[in-house]
Structure 1
Amino acid sequence: MKRLLLVLTFLLAAATAHAQTATVVLQWLPQAQFAGFYVAKEKGFYAERDVDLTLISGGPDVITSELLESRRATFATMFLSTGIQRRAAGIPIVNIAQLAQHSGMMLLAKKSSGINGIFDLYNRKVGLWANEFQLQPRALFRRSHIDVKVVPTGSSLDLFLLGGVDATSAMTYNEYHRLYTYGIDFKDLTVFHFADIGLDFPEDGLYALEETARRQPELCRKVVEATMEGWAYAFKHKDEALQYVQKEMESAHIPFALSHQRWMLDEIEKLFEFRDGSLSIELREADYDFTVRALRENGFIRTSPAYADFRKEVLQ
């Protein structure tokens, strides 16, 4: 028995020594938005590929591109608009997997405020999140020639609920449903879903430094493959996936509401695309060019990174 334990210990040590270490920083606090990563970790999909992966939670004080640039993280998740903005600012990051092919961002208003259409937003107070999260609303205002009074907001919906703003930023998978749990019926809201009004920018993608993609292509391939397997499993086994989400949230001392996280996972699935039964991680050049153009026209970037430099294929 002792000899068997020694052999097993040796084999485990050898396997650990052989495994490549890597970290992925996620752009927000633990929630079902990242269920695929949690599943891939818990089910051993990274370990099966000899990758010893650590997940780092983000949050309001975590800028994932900074952790990537300083090499405190090997990989990071970001919206496509964020990735382009950071690349244009000189950070040598590349997109190695475009997970969310569509946008879940929206503007919400109470019908009781008299806002029923886009032009009703004229001269109204609109709560917007910071930085690149203002891209789509500002593109909408610019396209529609609407002047609004922008009010900076955080993740809280209090300002909207108390009437401090007439409309507010939201995500289909988060704030939209949170308002429902607060007692506001969906039918009492006017919804401007950017995916439905010609401003459908891809969101969550997986990024690495250009140097990492060049020097460690096998590591990039393994992490992308395992992550894809994690998401495919999460969508097919949602009850199990939500158990892992709950574990992550409770570990971070974040209240877990099953109904809300289930809604989030269902809505996140709508932002992904499956082709021939497999999860698509393609970054379409047309989507990329459209997002770059919107960033430039609204003053978020001054230069346009070339698609060929920004996108790196790691699956061969």
Structure 2
Amino acid sequence: MKKVLLVLCCVVVLAACSKESESSNTTTTQELQKVSIVLDWTPNTNHTGIYVAQEKGYFANQGLDVEIIMPGEVGANQLVASGKADFGVSYQEGVTQARVQDVPIVSIAAVIQHNTSGFASPKEKGIESLKDFEGKTYGGYGAPVEEAILSSLMKKEGADIDKVDIVNMGNTDFFTAVKRDIDFAWIYYGWTGIEAELRDVELNMQYLTDYSKKLDYYTPVLVTNEKMIEESPETARKFMAAVSKGYEFAIDQPDKAAEILIHAVPEIDAELVKASQQWLSPKYQADADQWGVQKLDVWENYASWMYEHDLLEKELNSKAAFTNEFLPKNEEE
């Protein structure tokens, strides 16, 4: 009888502990602060650190429940500025233009340290220099900065942009477009360039950084709004602690990071993700002291270039456009 009572007591105690544990877990989940981040494009390896932070529980460890939002017709900058998203993925060009128009967004981390973009064309097109752009068709996205960069770089090489046919390729796939409508386009090598390698399509590349140091700007970047910085700086600090850890994981373990992105986005091209991650992971931090750091001269250089080319209504206050204050403190400091 005593043994029966002892067993029953144990069952009751275990049941109570189980209920308490479930209650505790529920409470913990309910106590997580809900925040959101809107991407700049469909998920790709620029975003890996975000997905790693979500999958590995880095956000939850910081007390955050983060929703990853896909971009829509309204861009990330507008959603973040209006408070409809707490954080976003943007790029230095966009933040610069937004800031001079008094849009209250601030860059809080550089996803990649150096600009990996450039003008790409299949090798058979014979475009080996900026001069070769003449007589060719460029597939763009309708942004004023595109023509300005083309014009500026071609002029330095003694080439005439008026001899380039510029068309808007919209969302047309690069590989489809160069077979059908255009000769060259502006791409990120870390994604479209790697895809070309996988397709055995040889590309000629004219990287922006090959022609001007001022074009070595941050793209992409993570942004938030001024209200978040002023009213909830601790939220921004927690968010960046988790995201930084996510990108550090992607730097150290690209294969595992790629698998996390593939698992989170099953429809993505797995082979491309794995190859792209291997190429991009060393470039996240590159020569910086830690992931995410931004430098004032990078912001000033590009802003001055944009202003000189009439892409800005007024000069940018570069110091107000970005901050490193929410990055985790470097342990070596």
Fold shared per TM-score above 0.5: yes
Write the distance in 2 (CA, Å) between the matches of 1:170 and 1:202: 15
Shift of 1:101: 1.4
* Counterpart check, 1:243 vs 2:259: yes
Identity %: 19
d(CA) in 1 for partners of 2:88 and 2:144? 17
Equivalent residue in structure 2 for 1:55, among 30, 45, 68 = 68
1:142 and 1:2 map into 2 onto residues whose CA distance is: 77
Contact kept in structure 2, 1:33 and 1:264, CA below 8 Å: no
Question: Structure 2, unaligned stretches of length 5 or more?
Answer: 1-13
**2:283 maps to amino acid:** L
Q: In the alignment, residue 109 of structure 1 is paired with which amino acid?
A: S
Return the offset for 1:127. Answer: 1.4
Q: Structure 2: how far apart are the matches of 1:307 and 1:110?
A: 37
Q: CA deviation at 1:121?
A: 1.3
CA contact (8 A) 1:98 1:205 kept: yes
Would you say the 8 A contact 2:248–2:291 is kept in 1? no
Structure 1 position 173 matched with structure 2 position 186: no
Shift in CA distance, 159/86, structure 1 to aligned 2, threshold 3 Å: same
Q: Residues 67 and 169 (structure 1 numbering): CA distance in 2 closer, same or farther, change over 3 Å?
A: same
Q: 2:247 aligns with which of 221, 231, 235?
A: 231
Determine the structure 2 residue equivalent to 1:307: 318
Please give the alpha-carbon distance, in whole angstroms, between the structure 1 residues aligned to 2:79 and 2:152.
Answer: 29
1:216 alignment partner in structure 2: 232
Contact 1:127 1:152 in 2 (8 A): yes
The one of 221, 246, 256 equivalent to 1:205 is: 221
Instruction: Report the TM-score when normalising by structure 2.
Output: 0.84
Change over 3 Å in CA distance of 1:21–1:143 after alignment to 2 = farther
Name the CA shift for 1:64/1:279 in 2 (closer, same or farther; >3 Å): same
Q: Structure 1, residues 32-70: CA drift from partner, whole Å, max 9, x if none? A: 2211111110001111111111111236x3511121123
C-alpha contact 1:27 1:62 (8 A) present in aligned 2: no
1:105 aligns with 2:117: yes
Preserved CA contact (<8 Å) 1:285 1:307: yes
Q: How many residues align?
A: 306
Distance 1:132 1:285, change over 3 A: farther
Q: CA deviation at 1:249?
A: 2.1
Q: Equivalents in 1 of 2:160, 2:258: separation in Å?
A: 41
Alignment TM-score, normalising by the size of structure 1: 0.88
RMSD of aligned residue pairs (Cα, Å): 2.2
Q: Deviations over 1:214-262 (max 9, x none)?
A: 1111111111111010011122222221222112322xxx3x3333112
Distance 1:103-1:67 versus aligned 2 partners, 3 A rule = same
Mark the structure with the bigger radius of gyration: 2
Match of 1:282? Answer: 293
Amino acid at match of 1:104: T
Alpha-carbon distance in structure 2 between the residues aligned to 1:224 and 1:234: 15
The aligned residue for residue 26 of structure 2 is 13
Instruction: State the partner residue of 2:133.
Output: 121
Deviates more, 1:26-35 or 1:256-265: 256-265
Structure 1 residue runs of 5 or longer lacking an equivalent are none
Moved more, 281-290 or 136-145: 136-145
Does 2:59 match 1:41?
no
Equivalent position of 2:11 in the other structure: none
The one-letter amino acid paired with 1:217 is P
Give SS of 1:286's match: helix
Counterparts of 1:142 and 1:288 in 2: how far apart (Å)? 24
Question: 1:298, 1:58 → 2: CA distance?
Answer: 29
Identify which of 283, 290, 293 aligns with 1:271: 283
